[in-house]
Structure 1
Amino acid sequence: MLNPTAAPAVPRQPSPLREELQNRLDSLARAHRVPGAQLAVHTGAQTLSVHTGTADALTGTPFTGDTAVPMGSVTKLGTAAAVLLLADDGDLDLDEPACELLPELRALPEVTIRHLLSHTAGLPTGPDSDSAAGTTVTRYLSAVCTAQSALFPPGTGFSYSNAGYVAAGRLVSEVTGMTWREALRVLLLEPLDIVPAFLGDAAPARPVATGHALNTATGLVRPAHQNLAPVEAPAGALLASAEDLTALGRALIGRSTVLPASVAARMRRPEPAADPGALADSWGLGLALFRQDGRTWCGHDGNAQGTSCHLRADPDSGVVVAFTGNAGGATALWRDLAADLVRLTGIRVPTTPAVTRGGPAVPLPECAGTYRNGGTEYAVKLDGDGTPTLSVDGDYPIPLVCYPDLSCDLVDPATGRHEPGGRFHRDPATGTIDRLQISGRTARRAGTV
């Protein structure tokens, strides 16, 4: 019978499976030009953990099992869990208007705490980190959370939003009287035996990894600067190892007393209208949900500057898989590694949503137009043969392939490879296309092109 409070210790003696995992991680890290990476697999009976390479390509600091990696958006799992723990204690109500605790949201009185956690509040993504670097949380939220910027009525759509988690982090501070970092440490990290580490720590209490970017001209990887603004911390400032993520994943599937089973189940329950498009199959309270072989896995993906981190957990079997890598190419490494896990362990880990096409490709000339999410503009134009292309803030246009259900693929101009992109949405009253969702972010139609 599984220990309900903690994962069994990582085996000290080498095992054939661990050696195979190590060899595969070593090989894929070299192939994808990733300086360092970690993989932890909890099989439901034991945890196997392997790591490879260097934490910093310039200094050559070894990547260890304890090295903490910038998690990017996986941080949101911690913020959501903290909010749910406060709700479980009766300190807040998920269905109360967020503006009752946060006056910065008074222009959006129908937005609830539940909407913030499930990305169904209709909030824009928020400004880029460089623009937000010098602002306060009050100014940030007051500028973003306006009726004019709302993408859709709360609870009627999905748009992935860092701003929603800036607000959720502010809620945690308001209710606890602590900073978000202090509250996360007390409520979640230390109970899970995770040594806290955050972007901006002057003296980290544990070894940390640097993100890396590939210089295409020289073929060399070099350290990348983490530019997350301090106000964005609840959306992306946590650092952790793959073993730490495994502990968190076990809590999220009810295998730890840190999160009561009822709280974990509440987080995993799909929220109405939370259709995340290309990000996942559905969304709970902070958790991305993925269908695989008749089961629903939960987890999250995250990218900081030059890092890629991923968590998947299966409530039925108790299996948890966590991966961290310190370069942009680590996302492709993760997908290749997950495919190999089937052969090595028999575990089929979902890395992307289960894509079902709504029929053959169709022309969709009515999709042409400009769409806005906060300060970001998406321009959809038709080329000479009527093929739609997408340009974001004036970047190079990418071809789109559209389907009868209004879903669309992005086409890599260099390889012709199709990647699920998102979908267009019609106004239910007029039948005209009024929104575009790309990579989980919704943009509202603003004009023609």
Structure 2
Amino acid sequence: MRFDHDHWQARLDDLRAAHRVPGAALAVLTGGTVHELASGVLHRGTGVEVTTDSVFLAGSVAKVYTATLAMTLVDSGDLDLDATVVSVLPEFATPDPEATKTITVRQLLSHTGGMTTDFYYDAGRGDDCLARYVEAARNVALDVSPGTGFSYGGVGYVVLGRIVEVLTGQTWDQALKDRLFTPLGLEHSMTLPEEALRFRTAMGHVGDDPVPAPAWDVMPRAVAPGGRVIVSAGDVVRFAKMHLDGGLAADGTRVLSAGAVAAMRRREVDCPDRWSMAADGWGLGWGLSDWDGTAGFGHLGSAVSQHACLRVIPGAGFAVALLMNGGHVAPLQDDLVGELAADLAGVRMPAPFAPPAEPPAVDLEPLLGTYRREGVIITVHRDGDGGARLRYAFADDIADLSPPLEGALTPVSRSGAATVFAATGFVPSGEAHTPVVFTTLSDGTPCVYVGMRATRKIA
């Protein structure tokens, strides 16, 4: 369908201002062509404007790049998806010796290996940082037992990055350049902060009336395979276009086999929290969705108040990347991406997560208590009116990361073993309600999902 540049530029400008987002970059693939737009400023302190070649921190969108990189090694025969991680990386371990023996590469890619996300160990800036991180992660407890359920995590993606290094003899950063960025012509994609200095680079902003954040990026180098790529919106869409084109770059170079592309979008596991990333299942790297009967895939990412959204609707040849540097990013994403998908792909995106006008009755008693995973303690207790509240506190090595988060819980639905609540007043990025899902793992362990991370009940 025809892309009306002036119309979408006006919508980007208007919605960005309405949601107090300082700056945003948008790229849309439709009809085989990539269209790029920009709005606002990169930094409110300097007033430098966003341009289409500006780069932003894209946070966890890095995971689909790492997954794609791993699949190039599957294509070459150097990596077997069903191999145990320890057979490829003998130094890999967890505190559970039996689990260590069974976790597979496929499980890391699909977030079913049980590895957590809240481990931000600083292994330094050297090229050995991933090796040192994997060594330190030997002491990090698993969220869940391998194969018992989905739990979104970043540690497994650092392990995947280290596997890439061992099998290629390169750093993860260099392998990504040589195997993806260069053949795809992604000239505004990088992984190291010093590389971003060559470009117009977005600064994150914090607060309801956003001001520049106190730091541009606080993540250690080692967590990059699960949490840092620095990219332009256009480059993100060009990366997605390769996946839509069966693994081919724009010049016909084969980057990934058609079989590997298909495998990445094949459902490996259902996701109990289908709202946080608009994904009800997970493949090998991609979040998978059924949007009003239409299959889609994508990923979200956040880093120091910068936010990235990638949505792809393969049946319509449509992809959209929206990069933002603070403010109320969630409603801007919902409004703009929803309008684009409806107009250019004929797909109605789901409405923002919210409780019904008349919340269902729920027995709170079995859900009250303490839930624990590495780095996080969640407590659910009754409030003074007989309802429930959730307290989300950081612990262990990241106890000082943030003050505890608290929110009131409003029932949304109960279906089978899952009970869904909406937490209000929980996050500052514009979402009115945060999904909280109580369920049980396949081994019968009660758990709660917040941000798609499974946290087991301990008391």
* TM over 0.5, shorter chain: yes
Unaligned runs of 5+ in 2: 249-254, 394-402
The more displaced of 251-260 and 36-45 is 251-260
Corresponding residue number in structure 2 for 1:377: 377
> Is 1:117 aligned to 2:109, yes or no?
yes
Pair 1:167–1:396, CA change in 2 (3 A): closer
> Is 1:341 aligned to 2:340, yes or no?
yes
| Partner Cα separation in structure 1 for residue 354 and residue 267 of structure 2 | 18
| Partner Cα separation in structure 2 for residue 332 and residue 353 of structure 1 | 8
- In the TM superposition, what whole-angstrom CA distance separates every residue of 1:231-252 from its partner, at most 9, and x where no partner exists? 1011122111111111111122
How far is 1:335 from its partner?
1.2
Pair 1:215–1:360, CA change in 2 (3 A): closer
> Is 1:144 aligned to 2:137, yes or no?
yes
Q: Residues 313 and 345 of structure 2 are in contact (CA less than 8 Å); yes or no, is this contact kept in structure 1?
A: no
1:176 corresponds to which letter in structure 2?
Answer: T
Corresponding residue number in structure 1 for 2:252: none
- In the TM superposition, what whole-angstrom CA distance separates every residue of 1:29-70 from its partner, at most 9, and x where no partner exists? 212222221111111343322111222222222211111111
> Is 1:410 aligned to 2:429, yes or no?
no
> Is 1:236 aligned to 2:227, yes or no?
yes
Q: Residues 363 and 387 of structure 1 are in contact (CA less than 8 Å); yes or no, is this contact kept in structure 2?
A: no
Q: Residues 267 and 287 of structure 1 are in contact (CA less than 8 Å); yes or no, is this contact kept in structure 2?
A: yes
| Partner Cα separation in structure 2 for residue 171 and residue 322 of structure 1 | 28
Map 1:14-33 to 2 at 5 A: 17-33=4-20
Pair 1:445–1:94, CA change in 2 (3 A): same
Corresponding residue number in structure 2 for 1:4: none
| Partner Cα separation in structure 1 for residue 203 and residue 447 of structure 2 | 34
Corresponding residue number in structure 1 for 2:245: 254
Q: Residues 365 and 386 of structure 1 are in contact (CA less than 8 Å); yes or no, is this contact kept in structure 2?
A: no
| Partner Cα separation in structure 1 for residue 319 and residue 297 of structure 2 | 9
> Is 1:157 aligned to 2:169, yes or no?
no
Corresponding residue number in structure 1 for 2:176: 184
How far is 1:114 from its partner?
0.6
| Partner Cα separation in structure 2 for residue 212 and residue 375 of structure 1 | 24
Map 1:311-350 to 2 at 5 A: 311-341=310-340, 344-345=343-344, 347-348=346-347, 350=349
- In the TM superposition, what whole-angstrom CA distance separates every residue of 1:102-149 from its partner, at most 9, and x where no partner exists? 23423311100111111110112232x4x5365943453344345x82
The more displaced of 393-402 and 227-236 is 393-402
Corresponding residue number in structure 1 for 2:58: 71
Cα RMSD, aligned residues only:
2.9
Corresponding residue number in structure 2 for 1:50: 37
1:412 corresponds to which letter in structure 2?
Answer: T
Corresponding residue number in structure 2 for 1:305: 304
TM-score (norm 1): 0.86
- In the TM superposition, what whole-angstrom CA distance separates every residue of 1:323-373 from its partner, at most 9, and x where no partner exists? 11111423321111123325654643647899999x934122111111112
Corresponding residue number in structure 2 for 1:445: 457
2:220 corresponds to which letter in structure 1?
Answer: A
1:390 corresponds to which letter in structure 2?
Answer: L
| Partner Cα separation in structure 1 for residue 163 and residue 123 of structure 2 | 20
The more displaced of 307-316 and 247-256 is 247-256
Matched position secondary structure for 2:315: coil
| Partner Cα separation in structure 2 for residue 126 and residue 208 of structure 1 | 30
Corresponding residue number in structure 2 for 1:268: 265
Corresponding residue number in structure 2 for 1:284: 283
| Partner Cα separation in structure 2 for residue 355 and residue 252 of structure 1 | 32
Picking from 405, 408, 430, the partner of 1:399 is 408
How far is 1:209 from its partner?
2.2
| Partner Cα separation in structure 2 for residue 194 and residue 118 of structure 1 | 26
Following TM superposition, where does structure 1 have runs of at least 4 consecutive aligned residues deviating by more than 4 angstroms? 133-136, 273-276, 351-357
Matched position secondary structure for 2:193: coil
- What percent of counterpart residues are identical? 32
1:80 corresponds to which letter in structure 2?
Answer: A
Matched position secondary structure for 1:202: helix
Pair 1:293–1:356, CA change in 2 (3 A): farther
Pair 1:80–1:59, CA change in 2 (3 A): same
- In the TM superposition, what whole-angstrom CA distance separates every residue of 1:172-215 from its partner, at most 9, and x where no partner exists? 10110000000000111111110254454324374242232234
Q: Residues 26 and 233 of structure 2 are in contact (CA less than 8 Å); yes or no, is this contact kept in structure 1?
A: yes
Corresponding residue number in structure 1 for 2:397: none
Unaligned runs of 5+ in 1: 1-14
| Partner Cα separation in structure 2 for residue 113 and residue 99 of structure 1 | 9
| Partner Cα separation in structure 2 for residue 202 and residue 45 of structure 1 | 33
Q: Residues 422 and 437 of structure 1 are in contact (CA less than 8 Å); yes or no, is this contact kept in structure 2?
A: yes
TM-score (norm 2): 0.84
| Partner Cα separation in structure 2 for residue 203 and residue 168 of structure 1 | 23
Matched position secondary structure for 2:362: coil
How many residue pairs end up in the alignment?
425
Matched position secondary structure for 2:297: strand
Matched position secondary structure for 2:163: helix
Q: Residues 210 and 327 of structure 2 are in contact (CA less than 8 Å); yes or no, is this contact kept in structure 1?
A: no
| Partner Cα separation in structure 2 for residue 391 and residue 270 of structure 1 | 32
Pair 1:349–1:64, CA change in 2 (3 A): farther
Pair 1:33–1:91, CA change in 2 (3 A): same
Matched position secondary structure for 1:109: helix
